[in-house]
Amino acid sequence: MNFSIGFTDLNASLHDLEDNDLDALMADLVADISATEEKFATERDTFKGSAPVAQIPSQPQSNFNLIASTDTSRPATSSNSIAAPPPPPTSKPSKEELEEQMKADKIKLALEKLKEAKVKKLVVKVEITDGSSKTLMVDERQTVRDVMDNLFEKTHCDCNVDWSVCETNPDLQTERAFEDHENLVEPLSTWTRDTENKVLFQEKKDKYEVFRNPQNFYMWKKDKKSLKDMKDKDKEQLLEENFCGASVIVPDLEGILYLKEDGKKSWRQRYFLLRASGLYYSPKGKTKASRDLVCLVQFDNVNVYYCKEYRIKYKAPTDHCFILKHPQIQKESQYIKYLCCDDVWSMTLWVTGIRIAKYGKQLYDNYKAAVRKAAGSATWANRTIQTSSNASTPSPTPKAKAANGHASHPAVETKGPGNQTSFPPPPPPSMEILPPQPPDPMLPPPLPAPSSTTKVNKFPPPPQFPQSSIPPPPTDDLPPPPPPPEDAEQPPDFLPPPPTSMTSYGGAALPPPPPEPLASLPPPPPAPQNFASAGGAPPPPPPPPPPPAPAPAAYQPTNSVRKVAPSPPQRTTPQLAAPSGGDFMSELMTAMQKKRSQP
Amino acid sequence: MAAWDLSVSVEELGPDAPPLKISVTSDLHIGGVILKVVEKSQIKQDWSDHALWWEQKQQWLLKPSWTLDKCGIHADARLCLTPQHKPLRLLLPSGVTLRLRACFSSPVFRCVTGLCKLLNIRRPEELSLLWPVEEKKKKKDKDVEEELYDITRAPLPSSIIPKLANGMPAFFAETPETEAVYKMLAVSQPAPAPETIAKLYRSTNITEKAHINSRWLDSSRSLLQQGVKENDKLLLRFKYYTFHDISPQADAVRLTQLYEQARWAILLEEIECTEEEMMVFAALQYHIGKVSLTEQFVASCPAMDDLDSALQCLEVKMEGESSADDMLVSSMIYTQPKRLTLKGYKQYWFTFKDTTISYFKSKEESCKEPIQQMNLKGCEVAPDVSVAGQKFCIRLLIPGPEGMNEVYLRCEHEQQYSRWMAACRLASKGKTLADSSFSSEVQSIQSFLAMQKTTPSTNAAQTDESINTHSLVSPRYQKKYKPKQLTPRILEAYQNVAQLSLTDAIQKFLQIWQALPDFGLSYIVVRFKGCRKDEVLGIANNRLIRIDLSVGDVVKTWRYNTMRQWNVNWDIKQVAIEFDGNVNIAFSCVTADCKIVHEYIGGYIFMSTRSREQSNTLNEELFHKLTGGHEAL
């Protein structure tokens, strides 16, 4: 099983991770084990200071025995590499042997936990148009939208809607932009070990063109000139008609395409028609009537890919080809449908049409989310340029963002949910001086106690999080920092370096699957974006960091949108629990040590 | 003022009784006339629903304060005192015929609103009445008495109809019979016998489809004015294909009837679909039929819904927890067909865990490393079954980097097959055996196998698990495939819908129906100004299309949002429409009255105003303004 994408070996991938990511990974691991703190505390109670004991009360201890018991049989393999972990960035100056040992144990435990973790993570190298690349860690619950939000922060590019994460396959010479709602880890996991496939981050004009100029797709038969200056109102109506009804209407595409015959080198012209139920052609001598149509393929199990230079590779009539294949197929196969169009535009039409047939309304929702994101970032870039260098808006899923170690800038943070707004907005006191934080030298990054309960749940939480919609009772009277207990719902909670983010995430700290039942939770995008996207009206000035009262109201429009977001990842069987973990773990450790000893 | 004799016939006196002669003056108002007639008739009864009908002029005299003079009534007028509400036989989309009282005096639009209120169908503006097709009278047909459900005793729709908590009008709850009637309205009908479909089926070219639309009644005139008589039969149908604000809770009857209309449109090929789509429709019909039998129509009480979902949740949980067998093991024959040559079948020991099949040389070796493991997530599963031949094969197409691996598993018997098949299906969707849907999946596979066993009896309607698959497809496919051939194909489509609830399945059916390219088009044969041949005008909710009659190709599309105005010249019966950019078209209608075309266009424009409107009140005035003819203006 691969743990990294785009690297020849794992070490390279770890080295390529930015400090932030590495810290996050580390924080994650520690979050994992800090939950087992109690066990160690009790174990060492006899000769250890009171610090860990003090922490015990702050942790809910249910379920813990189970993990503790599995921990007893920890392998000794990685123990020497752990022996001297470099001081974590925020750790206290005082370091005794004993603590050192404690930490080593914890890290070891963390690695084991990671090994058995239900949540799969990949280190992915993403190539950017300018030739550079970024490396980031992607967790299986993250959608492409989340990943892009991370990339926006890392690359500081404008966040326009055309940015896409794409996969390329050199064997098949294909390229496909992932849809924003897709999960990234799943398709990447099916790549073969020796794959030369790449993940690209680039602008793709085709991605959402249909929503900017629906008339070109839905009225493609008409003269293009007459469509050119269609009024925005009419475009909106077109979208409304086709995407907002009981069922999404697929563009009525029809025309001649070339189909590569099964197992042969020849291409044959056929008259194709697109329907919501699949791609059809009309056999020779038959009418175009529905009953005579032959189904070439239905879209449930296939994706559509753009192809490059098929004139040379497959002797295609033109270079404007696309294929339909099961995502797992990586090499030439009789199960791939090869199609060729006369020109680029007709290829765009067909590929877009197929995407609409396959994804339906989801595509439109993705677009609207992307527009909100883009509008939001533009607004912020204009207004908060002084306060924030990375002026991007908070990502829709705070968790996702935290996962890469990026804390949002306080100035940008406006997403405290209604029940959290009683907090003084962004008082950024460093974690160490906070009253609730027990003097705990063991935790490399300051780890607030409640978040350690995360790991208590052996299973990743089910998609419904009823608790998160309930205002956390205790937090209301507490001083800011110790993150509210909702955090407990999340599995490994990456701890972002600047502690303020924890407070600002507050109740919004949900696990990444952005969607669904959390209607009561105000989704992150700040209010101004909504206005910008809704009517094109000039966005109101950005609310100063969490203004308590107006916030909930302002969020409402997004709420409804968010409800229809991608479905939660189905993890009934956490597949791939990092099986070949052993050597990966030690590699990971060494890599991290190197990294830490560098500065 | 001179008194003169006015003759008024009273229905209650019998058809042969001579009209009553009353002495009136021209300044007597209509109310006074009625009073006099009633007095003279000497019948004591409730006359409140009665009104005067002027036969020669074919009009109602509904304004009691108008004088005879003002109405233009003279001594030669023959008036008739008759109830405004009369019994009518109403054929619903589901094929059920109701006998109920309809308003014969108000415009059809309001009459339909009343009927819908009675039947608890929301959004009555989407429906209308049309004449039935004239049936060729055959002698043998006369024997077949049509089933009729009489609800004429229901209160008049003009009065307030009290409703029970579950949305059912209270009068339906009065007797078990009426309650049964309501249930019949709200639950879809069992699948019809294939013969019934074949009998109703007509080879449908576009001209035939256009003829259907010539039968719509005029919404702005009353039933009696349009020659509808007491006890006549009319069809109630959804006319405008934009279904506003459907909510399964409040719309039990509406959804069911809409589904029935869609189903019959598919079965009779009034709307065309591909073979693949037909199989999905068939699978959904089968599923809906099956679920309707078991799942009680749960009426709309939000609290109940919550309770239901909570219970369901609990059930799922418990099933998930109690399900002990999370693993299947058995011996099966395995083969992997290579091109051209079939590799021989070989017996292996198989285990199925999570989403993965592993196989071993023998049971004894099953603790060792398996020969091969196959993760079925994302794979395609197809049955290859012949009950008669005792062949139970599962065909798997498992995706891999190199392509799809085709694998056949041959089970020994039905029992084994249904369990393994169910497991494969769940695994392909990423679910494990522990999933709560496993047992229902097994059951549905078994019921499908049972379907293959039963030889289709001639008049088999869907009674229990057994069903003739010919009942689910249009005659074209009845001819093309034997029931046995259809079963696996429907089963294939069925696996994607088997877990849907009743309302979800109905909505899915409607969704796929609405996604068909020809959905929502009403055809009228017209002749465009300056053209010599007939063409077809297709009217949809957002556009008009011009279709070549001979080829069936769309020649031109005009969207309503570019429409400036439309006019009807009632004298030469021509519709003229002006679009943006100085585009003018004009046509005369061949198969239907131009009032029908006018009403369609105006009606769709009326429908489009609804979404913006917040209130639920029906703007009847606007409807008539948009659809009324010259009389209305």
Q: Which of A102-116, A556-570, B346-360 has the highest mean pLDDT?
A: B346-360
pLDDT tier for residue A117 given thresholds of 50, 70 and 90: low
Q: Which of A37-41, A67-71, B58-62, B67-71 has the lowest mean pLDDT?
A: A67-71
CB pairs under 8 A, 24+ apart, for A279-288? A279/A324, A279/A337, A279/A354, A280/B274, A287/B552, A288/A254, A288/B552
Does residue B144 belong to the interface with chain A, where contact is any CB pair within 8 Å?
no
Averaged pLDDT, A290-301: 91
List the 568-597 stretch of A: residues with Cβ below 8 A of B.
570, 572-573, 575
Residues of B in contact with A276 (CB under 8 A): 512, 515-516
Does residue B622 belong to the interface with chain A, where contact is any CB pair within 8 Å?
no
Q: Which of A321-335, A462-476, B370-384, B392-406 has the highest mean pLDDT?
A: A321-335
Does residue B515 belong to the interface with chain A, where contact is any CB pair within 8 Å?
yes
CA closest to A280 among chain B residues: B274
Q: Which of A231-235, B387-391, B603-607 has the highest mean pLDDT?
A: B603-607
- Quick check: B377 and A326 CB within 8 A? no
Q: Is the pLDDT of residue A542 over 80?
A: no
pLDDT tier for residue B415 given thresholds of 50, 70 and 90: confident
Helices vs. strands in chain B: H and E counts, helices first? 17, 24
Q: Where are the alpha helices (DSSP H) in B495-618?
A: 502-514, 594-610
Interatomic CA distance for residues A156 and A390, integer angstroms: 6
Residues of B in contact with A329 (CB under 8 A): 399-404
Q: What is the pLDDT of residue A495?
A: 40
- Quick check: B403 and A277 CB within 8 A? no
Does residue B550 belong to the interface with chain A, where contact is any CB pair within 8 Å?
no
Does residue B465 belong to the interface with chain A, where contact is any CB pair within 8 Å?
no
Strand A121-128 with A198-203, pairing: parallel
Cβ atoms within 10 Å of A570's Cβ, excluding its own: 12
| Distance between A357 CA and the closest CA of chain B, angstroms | 10
Q: What is the pLDDT of residue A427?
A: 41
Q: What is the pLDDT of residue B262?
A: 96
Which one is predicted more confidently, A429 or B413?
B413
- Quick check: B512 and A247 CB within 8 A? yes
Q: Is the pLDDT of residue B161 over 80?
A: no
Averaged pLDDT, A411-430: 40
Q: Is the pLDDT of residue A143 over 70?
A: yes
Q: Is the pLDDT of residue B207 over 70?
A: yes
Q: Is the pLDDT of residue B441 over 80?
A: yes
- Quick check: B404 and A275 CB within 8 A? no
Residue with tokens 């415009």: B107
Residues of B in contact with A328 (CB under 8 A): 378, 399-401
Which one is predicted more confidently, A346 or B446?
A346
Q: Is the pLDDT of residue A520 over 70?
A: no
Contact criterion met (CB below 8 Å) for A248 and B515: yes
CA closest to A293 among chain B residues: B274
Q: Is the pLDDT of residue A435 over 90?
A: no
Residues of B in contact with A234 (CB under 8 A): 561
Residue pairs between chains A and B whose CB atoms are closer than 8 Å: 111
Dihedral pair phi/psi, residue B203, rounded to 5°: -60, 120
Residues of A in contact with B430 (CB under 8 A): 570, 572-573
Q: What is the pLDDT of residue B454?
A: 57
Token digits of residue B395: 């065909």
Token digits of residue B376: 């079925």
Token digits of residue B427: 């695994």
Nearest to A70 by CA among A535, A576, A458: A458
Interatomic CA distance for residues A156 and A154, integer angstroms: 6
Does residue B401 belong to the interface with chain A, where contact is any CB pair within 8 Å?
yes
Does residue A192 belong to the interface with chain B, where contact is any CB pair within 8 Å?
yes
Does residue A296 belong to the interface with chain B, where contact is any CB pair within 8 Å?
no
Contact criterion met (CB below 8 Å) for A578 and A1: yes
Does residue B514 belong to the interface with chain A, where contact is any CB pair within 8 Å?
yes
List the 316-335 stretch of A: residues with Cβ below 8 A of B.
326-331, 333-335
Q: What is the pLDDT of residue B425?
A: 86
pLDDT tier for residue A28 given thresholds of 50, 70 and 90: low
| Distance between B431 CA and the closest CA of chain A, angstroms | 7
Of A246, A295, A329, nearest to B403 by CB-CB distance is: A329
Contact criterion met (CB below 8 Å) for A272 and A257: yes
pLDDT tier for residue A7 given thresholds of 50, 70 and 90: low
3-state DSSP assignment of residue A390: coil
Q: Is the pLDDT of residue B73 over 50?
A: yes
pLDDT tier for residue A579 given thresholds of 50, 70 and 90: very low
Interatomic CA distance for residues A426 and A416, integer angstroms: 10
Which one is predicted more confidently, B570 or B467?
B570
Angle subtended at Cα B535 by Cα B530 and Cα B541, rounded to the nearest 5 degrees: 110
Residues of A in contact with B434 (CB under 8 A): 572
- Quick check: B431 and A572 CB within 8 A? yes
Q: Is the pLDDT of residue A531 over 60?
A: no
Averaged pLDDT, B611-621: 73
Does residue B633 belong to the interface with chain A, where contact is any CB pair within 8 Å?
no
CA closest to A281 among chain B residues: B274
Give bridge partners of residue B24 from the DSSP assignment. B4
Q: Is the pLDDT of residue A490 over 60?
A: no
Which one is predicted more confidently, B96 or B324?
B96
Does residue A189 belong to the interface with chain B, where contact is any CB pair within 8 Å?
no
Does residue B620 belong to the interface with chain A, where contact is any CB pair within 8 Å?
no
Q: Which of A566-580, B164-178, B346-360, B445-459 has the highest mean pLDDT?
A: B346-360
Interatomic CA distance for residues B586 and B588, integer angstroms: 7
Report the mean per-residue pLDDT for chain A.
65
Does residue A464 belong to the interface with chain B, where contact is any CB pair within 8 Å?
no
Q: What is the pLDDT of residue B179?
A: 86
3-state DSSP assignment of residue A24: helix
Does residue B582 belong to the interface with chain A, where contact is any CB pair within 8 Å?
no
pLDDT tier for residue B588 given thresholds of 50, 70 and 90: very high
Interface test with B, best of A120, A171, A247, A253 (most B CBs within 10 A): A247
CA closest to A253 among chain B residues: B517
- Quick check: A293 and B354 CB within 8 A? no
Nearest to A177 by CA among A134, A138, A206: A206
Contact criterion met (CB below 8 Å) for A421 and A546: yes
Q: Which of A421-435, B10-24, B252-266 has the highest mean pLDDT?
A: B252-266
Strand B380-386 with B372-375, pairing: unpaired
Does residue B380 belong to the interface with chain A, where contact is any CB pair within 8 Å?
yes
Q: Which of A21-35, A445-459, B193-207, B320-334 has the lowest mean pLDDT?
A: A445-459
Token digits of residue A321: 């080809």
CA closest to A569 among chain B residues: B430
pTM for the whole structure: 0.72
Q: What is the pLDDT of residue A597?
A: 64
Q: Which of A459-468, B188-197, B212-221, B585-594 has the lowest mean pLDDT?
A: A459-468
Q: What is the pLDDT of residue A563?
A: 36
Nearest to B433 by CA among B331, B348, B319, B309: B319
Q: What is the pLDDT of residue B496?
A: 82
pLDDT tier for residue A111 given thresholds of 50, 70 and 90: low
Which one is predicted more confidently, A55 or A582?
A582
Report the mean per-residue pLDDT for chain B.
83
- Quick check: B377 and A287 CB within 8 A? no
Averaged pLDDT, A472-490: 43
Under 8 Å CB-to-CB from B176, ≥6 apart: which residues?
A: none
Token digits of residue A226: 């007459």
Q: For A74, which DSSP code?
A: -
- E strands, A82-182, are 121-128, 133-139, 163-169, 174-177
Under 8 Å CB-to-CB from B7, ≥6 apart: which residues?
A: B19, B20, B21, B77, B78, B79
B408-to-A21, A320, B349, B378, B424 alpha-carbon distances in Å = 46, 37, 14, 17, 12
Q: Is the pLDDT of residue B291 over 50?
A: yes
pLDDT tier for residue A299 given thresholds of 50, 70 and 90: very high
pLDDT tier for residue A595 given thresholds of 50, 70 and 90: low
| Distance between A233 CA and the closest CA of chain B, angstroms | 10
Of A190, A219, A572, nearest to B430 by CB-CB distance is: A572
B311-to-B293, B299, B315, B317, B437 alpha-carbon distances in Å = 20, 16, 6, 10, 16
Nearest to A121 by CA among A400, A489, A396: A400
Q: Which of A325-329, A447-451, B335-339, B536-540 has the lowest mean pLDDT?
A: A447-451
pLDDT tier for residue A585 given thresholds of 50, 70 and 90: low
Q: Is the pLDDT of residue A397 over 80?
A: no
Does residue A62 belong to the interface with chain B, where contact is any CB pair within 8 Å?
no
Task: Give the sheet arrangement for strand B554-559, strand by strand.
Answer: B554-559, B543-547, B535-539, B522-528, B583-589, B574-579, B563-569
Q: Which of A73-82, A431-440, B251-260 has the lowest mean pLDDT?
A: A73-82
Averaged pLDDT, B400-404: 83
Residues of A in contact with B609 (CB under 8 A): none
Q: Which of A117-121, A279-283, A322-326, B604-608 has the lowest mean pLDDT?
A: A117-121
Interatomic CA distance for residues A441 and B129, integer angstroms: 81
Which one is predicted more confidently, A315 or A406?
A315
Q: What is the pLDDT of residue A429?
A: 41
Residue with tokens 């080295």: A15
Q: What is the pLDDT of residue B174?
A: 83
Under 8 Å CB-to-CB from A355, ≥6 apart: which residues?
A: A179, A304, A363
Q: What is the pLDDT of residues B91-131, one digit of tens each?
A: 999 989 999 999 999 999 999 999 998 898 989 999 999 99
